[in-house]
Amino acid sequence: MSIPTPHNNANTKDIAKTVLMPGDPLRAKFIADNYLEDLVCFNQVRNMFGYTGTYKGKRVSVMGSGMGMPSIGIYSYELYNFYDVDNIIRIGSAGGIADDIKLRDIVIGMGASTNSNFAHQYKLPGTFAPIADFGLLRKAVESAEKLGLKTVVGNILSSDTFYDDNPEANSLWKKMNVLCVEMEAAALYMNAARAGKNALCILTISDHVFTGEALSAEDRQNTFRDMMEIALDIA
C-alpha cells in the first residue's frame, strides 16, 4: 500500500523510529503537549492524533491506537510495514485480575494471552504465544528502577470483549496467574513478530475486576504520568 494510507496522512519521514501508543488519541495529545518539544502533528484522520517531536534530544512519536485489537492491528501494521517504525510501546490502562495486583501498579506485559482469533490469519499449525521484545522490556524495568517506580512483569490478557457473556471468564484467567486485562497488546505483539520489529506494553492498573476499586479521572491522569515517563525514557 502507498502512503499516506486511508488511516494515516503522514508522509514517509514524518514518524520517528519509536512510537508511543496510548489507546486514547487525547492521551497522545496530552503526552505531546506536556513532554515533547519541536512538535509536529502528522495525523488527524478520524481524530486519531499522531505527533512527532523530541524528548531530551531524542526524536519520538506518539499516536493513538483506538480501542481493541482490530484498531491497534491497523495502526501498528501500517507503522511497522509502511512507515518503517522499529519500536511501538503501548501505554494504557488495565483492570487488575490477580489478588496481589493493586490500583496504580505498573504492569509490563511479558506475554499477552488472548481470547481473540487474531492469530488465525497466520495459518500456524499450533498456538502462537505473543510476547514482548526482551530488549525493550529490560530497558523498561531498568528505567522504572532508576525513577524509583515499582513494576510487575508477567502475563496479561488481551480481550476482545469488554462485556463478556461468561461471568466466570476472568476467574478462569486468574487461576492461570494472569495479572490484568486490557484489549490491545496481543495484536501489537503479533504484528511486531510478523514484521520482525519490536513491541512492548506498559500498563497502569486503573481498576480491579474483583474488588470493584477504581481510580478517579484525576488519579488516572497523575498516575499515568509514571508510565508515560518510563516509555519516554526508553524511546
Nearest by Cα to 162 from 23, 26, 47: 23
- Whether 207 sits among the annotated catalytic residues: the reply is yes
| From 24, 86, 160, 207, active-site residue | 207
Give me Rg for the CA atoms of the chain.
Answer: 17
Note whether 128 and 116 are within 8 A (CB).
no
DSSP string for 184-202:
SHHHHHHHHHHHT-EEEEE
Provide the greatest CA pair distance for the chain: 49
Residue for grid cell 501494521: 77
Catalytic residue positions? 207
